[in-house]
Chain A
Amino acid sequence: MSPLRREDVAHVAKLARLSLSESELDLFTEQLSQVLEHASDMASLDLEGVVPVAHPFGLINVVREDEVRPCLDRDEVLAMAPDARDGRFAVPRIMGEAP
């Protein structure tokens, strides 16, 4: 496993939509490296052929009838949103100005 570099941390922050200060970048690089180093005890294991687990009891494909049921009240939900207009969530512009 490769050691974590400062530019990796900066890249991951961007992916996670977080902006970090220079000092936070330094601190997180050091702290996250420690955790990954601790995890290196797994790297040496030969787990070829072991099936990765996602659910402890292998519960899969839980389905229900596709029927109309009561759901949350729209106005009540929108009342909790930072910004709402015309029965919808409102956000700042997503695309740039038309050329």
Chain B
Amino acid sequence: MKSAAQIAGEVNSGATSAVAELTRSLEAVRARNDELHVFLFVDEEGALAAARRVDDVVARGGSAGPLAGVPIAIKDNMCQRGVPTTCASKILQGWRPPYSATVVEKLLAAGAVPVGKTNLDEFAMGSSTENSAFGPTRNPLDTSRVPGGSSGGSAAAVAADMTPIAIGSDTGGSIRQPAALCGVIGVKPTYGLVSRYGLVAFASSLDQIGPFAKTVTDAATLLEVLAGHDPLDSTSLPEPSPSLVAHVGDGVAGQRVGVVRELIEGADEEVLEAVARAREALEKAGATTVELSIPELRLGLSAYYLIAPAEASSNLARYDGVRYGLRVDGDDVAAMNEATRTAGFGAEVKRRIMLGTYALSAGYYDAYYGQALKVRTQMIGAFARAYREVDLLLGATTPTVAFAFGAKTANPLSMYLSDVFTIPTNLAGEAAISVPFGTGEGGLPVGVQLLGPGRSEARLFAAARVLEIADGRP
């Protein structure tokens, strides 16, 4: 499979066409989508129109952009005008958004060709895609195992070579965890770097859109396209998109990297080995490394599972059967609301709405939600102290390689624990990247995680590139 950079170069030079690249992508989707259940909707018609527009621009002698003719998969919690957007929930089944997310507009402007909408855990709540109302996605590398989640479909699309790049959203690890489990690169950008306009809200203070790719250069190219201030998102950072691709080759000479005890403890042996090898590779490339402990990170999971459900309970109040999606009739409006929500939401979404409603309810607000927000403050401070000593942090992305279907569904807490290493970054609003680094049990991929302060994406990509080379992908 060609990289996105290769495709864009060849399309812009006329060596290949966007339509030809789309055809190849659609063939790959057709070959395995029934088996893997990666896409909930394949937009053949829209994709063909987008590809033809790209080819027209090139035929007229123009450049069609940094992603010219590159097929891309979009997680189905981002709006694309006229294309079904379900969030893998029955409550939005059949809904076609009347507008596109800012990221979709940016992708089209950069010449990318959106192939379709990928499967996810319902409303991005989960770590395996088993919570999709339309059935789980299978890990392309071992179909008896989950691809991770919630952006499991987007990770699998790239891992299965259906599209060279994809986008997902990461609220507590939903890009990095499936990237690790599927053996691809996944980036959780700094909060506010990418506009959330048109991303269906789960936990607004934590949600962030980011890239999946097979190469660091492709991930950087995609993030450059996605990033930048958007007046339609009041939480978006004020500055334009940073220069990232130009820094991919910067290396890590002179960089100080902290290996964080709390971001590896409890991980399987094969994961620990991967982190140790990553540390060696960074040292060999000129970085100095040191072991660190940031005890505050241990509280991340607890704080997250109060803050995220609290925000979700508020955000998901909008699904009331009035303006869009499912309606189940009732005698009066309250009965209609309740019947609609009861029929439309799956068990995990209900659990989180309940947890959040409880954490925000009278008598419990200070003890749960209020306390969690203070822990979040502590965590931001703890990271800031660490970044006075080091430039980057290194840890595992997930405690284990991809797990089997059903392994964690009976016990929600055990599922939540698979995000224990990724959650702190979201709470702090900072940036992190998961890079595949070797394999473990049964040849399954292991991901290591690089973390940096807010707006450190260029530095993260440079370090990720060092690991990519060390892992034998020059």
Q: Which A positions have Cβ atoms within 8 angstroms of B?
A: 1, 4, 8-9, 12-13, 15-20, 24, 28, 31-32, 34-36, 38-43, 45, 47, 50-57, 59, 62, 64, 72-73, 76-77, 80-83, 89, 91-94, 96
Contacts and interface: CB of A to CB of B under 8 A. Distances in A.
B428 interface: yes
B205 interface: yes
Most buried by B among A31, A51, A93: A31
Interface stretch (B22-30, B91-99, B115-123, B279-287): B91-99
Contacts of B375: 42, 45, 47
A18 B302 contact: no
Contact of A53 (B302, B336, B377): B377
B412 A31 contact: yes
Contact of B351 (A32, A42, A52): A32
A57 B454 contact: yes
A55 B205 contact: yes
A16 B235 contact: no
B341 interface: yes
Q: Is the interface of B mostly helix, strand, loop or mixed?
A: helix
A38 B158 CA distance: 35
B441 to A, nearest CB: 27
A59 B377 contact: no
B191 A92 contact: no
A32 B356 CA distance: 10
Contact of A92 (B299, B329, B371, B428): B329
A16 B329 contact: no
B371 A64 contact: no
B291 interface: no
Given A31-B412, A56-B430, A94-B333, 7 more contacts: A4-B358, A31-B411, A45-B299, A50-B377, A52-B376, A56-B427, A93-B331
Nearest to A32: B355
Given A41-B302, A42-B303, A31 B351 contact: yes
Interface residues of B, number: 72
Interface of B: 95-96, 98-99, 191-192, 205, 231, 234-235, 237, 298-299, 301-303, 305-306, 313, 320-327, 329-339, 341-342, 345, 347, 350-351, 353-355, 357-358, 361, 364, 367-368, 370-378, 380, 411-413, 416, 427-430, 454
Most buried by A among B95, B99, B298, B339: B99
Given A16-B313, A28-B354, A56-B429, A38 B336 contact: no
Given A52-B376, A73-B98, A91 B358 contact: no
A81 B235 contact: no
Contacts of A18: 338, 341-342, 345, 350, 353-354
Most buried by A among B325, B358, B380: B358
13 contacts: A16-B313, A28-B351, A32-B354, A35-B412, A39-B303, A42-B302, A42-B303, A53-B373, A59-B235, A72-B99, A81-B322, A82-B324, A93-B332
B325 A82 contact: yes
Contacts of B95: 80
Contact of A12 (B298, B320, B354): B354
Contacts of A39: 302-303, 305-306, 368, 372
B341 A52 contact: no
A57 B191 CA distance: 9
Closest 5 CB pairs of A and B: A56-B429, A52-B373, A82-B327, A39-B302, A62-B234
A81 B353 CA distance: 23
Given A16-B353, A32-B355, A35-B416, A43 B367 contact: yes
Contacts of B98: 72-73, 76-77, 80
Contact of B413 (A1, A38, A42, A76): A38
B413 A34 contact: yes
Contacts of B335: 92
B231 A64 contact: yes
B322 A89 contact: yes
A78 B371 CA distance: 41
Contacts of A96: 332
B444 to A, nearest CB: 28
Contact of B299 (A28, A41, A50, A77): A41
Contacts of B364: 1
A32 B358 contact: yes
Contacts of A53: 373-374, 376-377, 380
Contact of A80 (B96, B345, B353, B428): B96
Contact of A19 (B99, B342, B370, B428): B342
A54 B334 contact: no
Nearest to B94: A80
A12 B357 contact: yes
Contacts of A41: 298-299, 302
A9 B350 CA distance: 11
B122 to A, nearest CB: 14
Contacts of B298: 41
Nearest to A13: B354
Most buried by B among A17, A73, A76: A17
A16 B350 CA distance: 9
